[in-house]
Chains A and B, each alone.
Chain A
Amino acid sequence: MRNFEYRIVEEAREAARLCAEGATLPKGGGIDLIDRMKEGLERPARLIGLHRALDATVASTLDGTLRIGASATLAQLAEELAESHPSLAQGAGEAATPQVRRMATLGGNLLQRPRCAYFRSRHYSCVKDGGEGCPAAEGLHDTHALFDNAPCSAVHPSNTAPALISLGASVRLVGADSQRELPIAGLFVPASADPTREDVLRPGEILTEVLVPAASRGPRAAHYEVRHKQSFDWPLAIAAVNFNRDQAQLVLGAVASTPLAVPQAEAALRACAADPSEARLQAVADLAVAAATPLPGNAWRLPLVRTAVRRAILQALGLPAER
């Protein structure tokens, strides 16, 4: 890591002001940032520590809205939301390792950069790091995108975003002189729009909190992920569904450059909620993968996506797992 100044600030606005100055990056838990700095992918002159500026609590307001400070750790979410927001708790609780979940913040989980081995290697250049082409598309892309995989085929790495989108969450972004709230689905940038970035944050802008509407509180939501290895591995497919208060949302993860909402499945999901027959589950699964454009080496994951969808639905409806 190149030497840098480290400034721990007290206010998000101040962090935003400093980060807008260039060669400066914000640091939450640091898990992803330190990794990239060790690899030499980032060489900031200054880091801005956010942990004092950003709230780390998970709390509900009177109207039932859930507010999560961006500094809340994945471990906190897994522990504190298991009853009220099970899909988010599951997504947070299955990420990485116990130690990492205790350090990694929700903000960092949403804004971390993709895990593509080519992007992460200083020995390869690609369209995402400002170079050309996608070495993964010609090379190893087993775990790469099944949808929206050009010009970059990396998948979005967040384990919490699929659940949050399905819950209709929004994020609050703070700039030096601005503040805005976005539906979380609007936070992410598809590779086809701009492969060099994964989020819409403006220079310096800081994600300060995540809000989950009251209507999404409740047990009828689930996050299901398929992993090769059970102790520490990245998912091969994620499905998050939300049936609380007559909602019917499905979001896929680990399959595209952004978490991928499947709004076209809403009617089919509602049908499942009424009667989760095999045919209806399959109908949702069909819709989930209908638009897929897999690469030669990763089409085998489509059935896994379908499976994750079926199982997430059953889990959210409180039905026993398929055997």
Chain B
Amino acid sequence: MSVTRRGFLAGSAAAAATPAALKGAAKSRPAAAETVFAAGPNQVVLEVNGGRHAVEVEPRTTLLDALRWKLGLTGPKEVCDRGACGACTVLVDDRPTVSCMMLAVDAVGRKITTVEGLGTPERPGRVQQALIHHDAVQCGYCIPGFVVSLEGALRADSKTDAAGLRQAIAGNLCRCGTYNKMFEACERLAGGDPAAGVLANAPACAESTGGRVDAAAKITGTAVFGADLHRPGMLFAQHVLCPYGKATLVSADLDTVRRLSGVIEAELGVGREHGYSGAPAGHVCANSREALRDAVSALRCVWEPVAVETDPRVLHEQQHGAFPRNEERLIAARGGAEAAKALAAAHVVMERVYETQVQNHNPLEPHGATIDPTVTPAEGWVSTQGTGSCAGPLAQALQLSRDQVAVRCEFVGGGFGSKFGLGREGQLAAELARKHSLPVRVFNDRENEQLDTGNRPGSMQWMKIGAAADGKLLGGLIYTAGIVGVGGGGGATNPWLYDFGAIAKDHEDVRGSHGAPRAFRAPGRPQGTFALESMLDEIAEELGMDPIEIRLRNETSEVRKQMLRAGVEEFGWSRRQPTGKQGGRVRTGFGVAAGDWSSQPGRCAIRMQAHHDGRVEVWSGTQDIGQGQRTLIADIAADHLAVPRALITVHIADSRFPAGPASGGSTTGRVTAPAVRDAAQKLLDGLAAASGLEVATDWKAACARLGADGLTVDGEFNPDYWGEGGSEAVQFAEVEVDADTGVVRARRILAYQACGLVANRLTAENQLIGGVIQGVSYALFEERATDPVLGGQMNADLLGYKIAGAIDVPEIVPRLWGAREGKGVRSLGEPTTVPTSGAIANAVANALGVRVRSLPITPAKVRAALEGRA
């Protein structure tokens, strides 16, 4: 029998017995000539979004590159570049396909549909409508891929149920954590109860129930991120980083690379030792993506790595002596005598060590900037959390004055604390832009992104805590060590919740050979909280107390006491089984943990203009990293002006606009809101004076009396509108642990979050859910894997670096606590992720009767704990 496809089909069809075979036979087609694409440029026609496009591609050009860089369709994103994250998903003949793993020439003759082909902001498609409706978006970078995956599932089977749709997005990663909003949208798409989700929440809304004002731009893929920008003549550059803990760059083929077509420059520190994994060794710049990639691979860097120590305990011993430190030293220090007294008086003394991992930020849009010095003012499209903080460094690098540059970041693909300032990437882009007087794009590939753009430092936390028989914490000793790579000053904040009594504590940094930490969503807090919440449960267990009871006894916050009591009821805490009493293979556990956050007033300027026709424009230099900054400004302004939100247009993320806070410390919304109210009040006052009318009764009539220039006012941070109060949090978690495999699945989380005034219910809930999901991911999956010999990161990609996906997240009930109390907005970004890992760790311990004292809680650690090897 012939083995060609045609021959085979002829044979098999003859012998066919099943419908499947007939279906196959029907696909038989006439012979066609062999198709050859020469190495180098080929003219092909791609059928995209209903149009036919002639493009020049090489055989190696991926479909993603062709769409983004040849056709300007930047809805599909490049994130992992290995088919693991789904951000580049497009439909190929109606089937969701990762376009980063498909050759463009293989797409010839097939029907390609990108997110842009599924709707526009004005006329969103069915999936886009559902996602917009449920606010299933934060930063927006991953969303086009989700839209396409869902559309594909519906095209394959229009009757797909919600569970099927959820499976359809199992190959799409969202770093902000919007999965549960997407599940709501899936319910809607599957024809479920249209009152599910947002509508069910509506009666509880404090203020706006309107959607996210830029949701449509993000969900239809029309939002332009810095990484999407393509300017004429643009150069592409990237750093070359040291891949080992310590290595000498012995040689590199620089001469060859510099002679390659399209290479602009290549500079490397050859002959030098590079001192950590991710240390910059130089850069390469070329006039196209292909030329840059060719140049990097042609470099043939020869590294001579040396063995480095990576074990934190050994490093600690080398740098500070044995871990933990001799407790006499703590007792001799400040507060030590009282702490020792407390331990001596205690009914129970618990001594434990808790450890946490190094976690990488992995925003889906990597760190980077596209800088264009050929326009006036010079533009820097930086993926940043601080528009204003980039302008000075950019001006300096371009040798311009600050008013000659504009930093723009109208959309930022995720920022979790590591994206302040221009960064190494923006600095390189600016220097090259100045040198060559051309636009330059420097965005990390995923490997560079993982190696050295900050991380949440790991920690080792030794605690020796005494408690009275009634559960009252009396005090004790705490020694923490931060695993900080080549950085310093980080690790764990412990204790910082509850009244721990008389505590003497100390901290040291353990330096190592990986990149320095940067702020990461509530720096120090998740680490410390995991330890102290675990310790509380261990003491409670020893005393035979309920975890709720010991918390109520030591809690200093009345709000959290109320949350604890409310959760007992709402979560069904009475169904919690006694710790360690479950047999069977799949065991269920309940856990609880707390969190908090506080932030300080800051400076923020807002410009607001009322127009003759009643429209209002607002300008703020602040940025949206997914929290919903445009929405918050619009909602607060509409609320204060008492006008429909549709009249308000918000302009943000440009360094020429009035300056506001960088998005760090959970202050953006909190500090912006009082400035927006201040501007709005000035506008109302000015309008009343200018029009002679009572503005509140007839906004449009008052505006109609304005001249052609309208009325413009400048507002600033006004303490009268400051939202006093903390961001208390309590989360309850239910997990399911498979004792035979050690696999933990988070099943349910109830998240109480104090937040003062809710400017927008949808975005606030979404941020809370996102914090919880990042907490789940931190608790169970994420960890930088370091080669213990040469110190390289072995999972510097999204194939091996594990981030929770759609099937890994629990049901989450977000409860915005006391939403109507207080006149101001409080912090929501950071506190939402603080309690999660502690709650999950306690739930796992409750399920198993043994405790994993190290994050992430992997199958290996669960098994070790069960086997008594922990």
Contact = CB atoms under 8 A, between A and B. Distances in A.
B244 interface: yes
B24 A55 contact: yes
Interface in B31-49: 31-40
Interface string B76-116: 00000111101001000001111001110110000000000
A4 B794 contact: no
A231 B36 contact: no
A233 B802 contact: yes
Nearest to A43: B297
B613 interface: no
Interface string B147-165: 0010000000000000000
Given A31-B101, A97-B84, A233-B802, A323 B586 contact: yes
A139 B21 contact: no
B675 to A, nearest CB: 41
Interface string A20-39: 00000000001100110110
B858 A99 contact: no
Contact of B794 (A46, A96, A98, A118): A118
A138 B34 contact: no
Nearest to B862: A300
A35 B101 contact: yes
A232 B867 CA distance: 28
A231 B27 contact: no
A9 to B, nearest CB: 5
Nearest to B803: A229
B806 A55 contact: no
Interface in A92-147: 96-100, 102-103, 115, 117-118, 121, 123-124, 135, 138-140, 142
Contacts of A45: 39
A9 B863 contact: no
A54 B23 CA distance: 16
Contacts of A57: 9, 12, 20-21, 23-25, 27
Contact of A139 (B40, B297, B789, B863): B789
The 4 A-B residue pairs with the shortest CB-CB distance, nearest first, are A97-B171, A231-B805, A57-B24, A59-B21
Interface string A57-92: 111111010010100000000001000000000000
Interface of B: 3-5, 8-9, 12, 15-18, 20-21, 23-25, 27, 31-40, 58-60, 62, 81-84, 86, 89, 95-98, 101-103, 105-106, 149, 167-168, 170-172, 243-244, 293-294, 297, 303, 584-586, 740-743, 745, 780-781, 785-790, 792, 794-795, 799-800, 802, 804-808, 858-860, 863-864, 867
B808 A231 contact: yes
25 contacts: A1-B297, A4-B60, A5-B37, A6-B59, A9-B34, A11-B5, A30-B101, A45-B39, A46-B39, A52-B5, A55-B5, A56-B24, A59-B12, A60-B21, A69-B5, A97-B83, A98-B168, A99-B86, A99-B98, A102-B96, A227-B743, A232-B84, A233-B802, A300-B864, A300-B867
Nearest to A18: B34
A98 B4 contact: no
Given A69-B8, A102-B95, A303-B740, A135 B789 contact: yes
A12 B794 CA distance: 37
A121 B20 contact: no
B96 A229 contact: no
A60 B16 contact: yes
A209 B789 CA distance: 43
Contact of A103 (B3, B98, B863): B98
Contacts of B35: 7-8, 49
Contacts of B102: 30, 103
A100 B745 contact: no
Given A31-B101, A231-B170, A300-B863, A322 B39 contact: no
A100 B20 contact: no
A230 B807 contact: yes
A244 to B, nearest CB: 17
Q: Which of A30, A45, A59, A304 has the most CB of B within 10 A?
A: A59
A96 B84 CA distance: 8
A47 B61 CA distance: 13
Contacts of B799: 115
A171 interface: no
Given A4-B60, A232-B805, A35 B83 contact: yes
A76 B802 CA distance: 27
A230 B808 contact: yes
A118 B243 CA distance: 12
B98 A100 contact: yes
Contacts of B297: 1-2, 40
A58 B24 CA distance: 7
Contacts of B800: 117
Given A8-B35, A57-B23, A231-B807, A303 B863 contact: yes
A268 interface: no
A27 B290 CA distance: 21
A209 B12 CA distance: 12
Do most interface residues of chain A lie in helix, strand or loop, or is the interface mixed? mixed
B106 to A, nearest CB: 7
Contacts of A9: 34
A207 B40 CA distance: 29
A226 B745 CA distance: 13
A117 B794 contact: yes
Contacts of A229: 780-781, 802, 804-805, 808
Contacts of A14: 34
A172 interface: yes
A102 B34 contact: no
B59 A226 contact: no
Contact of A117 (B740, B780, B795, B802): B795
Nearest to B148: A99
B37 A231 contact: no
A174 B8 CA distance: 13
Nearest to A172: B3
Contacts of A49: 35, 106
Nearest to A1: B60
Contacts of B36: 5-8
Nearest to B86: A99
A257 interface: no
Nearest to A142: B860
B243 A123 contact: yes
Nearest to A27: B103
Contact of B105 (A6, A10, A115): A6
Given A97-B172, A304-B742, 6 more contacts: A9-B34, A59-B20, A69-B5, A103-B102, A232-B84, A300-B859
Nearest to A50: B5
A157 to B, nearest CB: 11
Contacts of B62: 34
A10 B33 CA distance: 7
Contacts of B34: 7-10, 14
Name the residue in B5, B38, B795, B799 with the highest tally of chain A Cβ atoms < 10 Å from its Cβ: B5
A118 B800 CA distance: 12
B524 to A, nearest CB: 26
Contact of B83 (A4, A62, A99): A99
Nearest to A93: B167
Given A3-B60, A100-B83, A123-B244, A139 B787 contact: yes
A223 to B, nearest CB: 15
A2 B781 CA distance: 35
Contacts of A172: 3
B149 A99 contact: yes
Nearest to B22: A59
A88 B623 CA distance: 50
Contacts of B859: 226, 228, 236, 300, 304
A264 interface: no
B3 A3 contact: no
Contacts of B5: 10-12, 52-55, 69
Nearest to A57: B24
B167 A98 contact: yes
A62 B17 contact: yes
A170 interface: no
A268 B37 CA distance: 55
